Amino acid sequence: MDALTDPCINICRMDLSGQFCQGCRRTPLEIGRWPRMTLLERTATLAAIAQRRNPGSNPGSDAGTPCTPCSPCNAGTGHAA
């Protein structure tokens, strides 16, 4: 996607946490600032969107890795023990 192209795909509703748009995966701040962002800021925002869509794609990240069940809950819910 071109860094100048608005990533909006006209599915404009926030996720249940209110953190990200379910369509474009931007934060409310990123959505509001988009028209005034520099090329560098837009490029960084598009990279963040790509990471949000595929959290396990960062080679140095353990995001997306299933939790190992811990002894207190033995459920593997993803929380820190």
Instruction: Say which residue, 72 or 40, is predicted with more confidence.
Output: 40
For residue 25, CA distances in Å to 11, 43, 70 come to 10, 14, 31
Instruction: Say which residue, 39 or 56, is predicted with more confidence.
Output: 39
**pTM for the whole structure:** 0.65
Residue given tokens 């934060």 in the structure block: 27
Highest mean pLDDT pick, 1-10, 40-49, 58-67: 40-49
Q: Are 25 and 53 in contact (CB under 8 A)?
A: yes
Give the whole-angstrom CA distance, residue 68 versus residue 62.
12
pLDDT 10s digits, 6-40: 999 999 999 999 999 999 999 999 999 999 999 99
